[in-house]
Amino acid sequence: KAGVTQTPRYLIKTRGQQVTLSCSPISGHRSVSWYQQTPGQGLQFLFEYFSETQRNKGNFPGRFSGRQFSNSRSEMNVSTLELGDSALYLCASSLGGRAIPYSTDTQYFGPGTRLTVL
Amino acid sequence: AQSVTQLGSHVSVSEGALVLLRCNYSSSVPPYLFWYVQYPNQGLQLLLKYTTGATLVKGINGFEAEFKKSETSFHLTKPSAHMSDAAEYFCAVSDDITNFGNEKLTFGTGTRLTIIP
């Protein structure tokens, strides 16, 4: 079974630009979560999508947005990039459904997309 | 609000020695607790998790953790360190279970484990 894949793996952008990152979850997984990892702030939750709907949201500005498609693939977009947006962006997938007992579900993480903003 | 504190951003142990990585949490409801490992240039891999039931949880690669409610701790241990254990380890908590959620994790700042040959 293929794992969570993220594209691209590395990205360099300049301030003011926008960027779109992609995440393909494990087959059958319907929940996709996004995290930002930086040396200063550590791992922080961005948002989570399930069945094309945002279910959870972290404390990030509106420049950070996401969406999920009917095949559960997800994208996140960052507009008007700032230097502080340089980070490793991690995507995680899980079954996430109401019928799945919480205790048996697990998030599986992708390798991340490393974004550098110059 | 939930939070996680990992004591020691860097821990060094000799190969074959006991590994002990500390994690304390704060949560207003019974928490679900996790340990993840991250190898260089890779994503996170789940080592183990505590949800309910037995407080001693065994995970992959010989790691285990014990949930101690009275101490609000969930320390990670391994009896004998191996060179391949060198990585960064993250403790995480989730109490957002009302919204179908194991999807919103709060992570600690991580502990980098170095193994001395």
CA A103 to CA B34: how far, in whole Å? 11
Nearest to A45 among B44, B99, B104 (CB): B104
CA distance B26 to B49: 16
When pLDDT is averaged across residues B91-100 and rounded to a whole number, the result is 69
Cβ of B46 within 8 Å of Cβ of A108? The answer is: yes
Q: What per-residue confidence (pLDDT) applies to B11?
A: 97
Q: Out of B42, B102, B108, whose CB is closest to A102? A: B102
| CA separation for the pair A102, B62 (Å, rounded) | 24
Q: pLDDT (tens digit, 9 = 90+) per residue, B9-65? A: 999 999 999 999 999 998 777 778 899 999 987 889 999 998 878 889 999 999 999
B109, B8 contact by CB (below 8 A)? no
Residue B41: closest CA among chain A residues belongs to which residue?
A111
- Looking at residue B103, its pLDDT comes to 59
Residue from B10, B44, B91 whose CB has the most chain A CBs within 10 Å, to mutate:
B44
> What is the spatial distance between Cα B84 and Cα B65, in angstroms, rounded to a whole number?
19
| Beta-carbon separation of B104 and A48 below 8 A | yes
Q: What is the pLDDT of residue B104?
A: 75
pLDDT value of position B97: 55
Q: What residue of A is the nearest CA neighbor of B42?
A: A111
What pLDDT is stored for residue B32 in this prediction? 85
Overall average pLDDT of the B78-106 stretch: 81
- Nearest residue of B to residue A99 by CA position? B100
A110, A6 Cβ separation under 8 angstroms: yes
Q: Do A112 and B101 count as a contact with CB atoms less than 8 A apart?
A: no
Given this model, what pLDDT does residue B58 score? 95
DSSP letter assigned to residue B79 = S
> Looking at the complex, does the CB of residue B100 fall below 8 Å from at least one CB of chain A?
yes
Q: Give the pLDDT confidence score for residue A1 in this predicted structure.
A: 67
Kindly give the confidence (pLDDT) of every residue in chain A, 118 residues in length, as a single tens digit, with 9 standing for 90 and above: 679 999 999 999 999 999 999 999 999 999 999 999 998 888 999 999 998 999 888 899 999 999 999 999 999 999 999 999 999 999 999 887 655 555 567 788 999 999 999 9
- Assess B112–A contact: CB distance below 8 Å, yes or no: no
Pairwise pLDDT comparison (A19 vs B101), residue with the higher score: A19
Asked if B74 and B50 touch (Cβ cutoff 8 Å), the reply is yes
User: Does the beta-carbon distance from A33 to B106 stay under 8 Å?
Assistant: no
From chain A, the residues in CB contact with B103 under 8 A are 31, 33, 48, 50, 55-56, 92, 94, 96, 107
The whole-number average pLDDT for the span B100-116 is 83
What per-residue confidence (pLDDT) applies to A11? 96
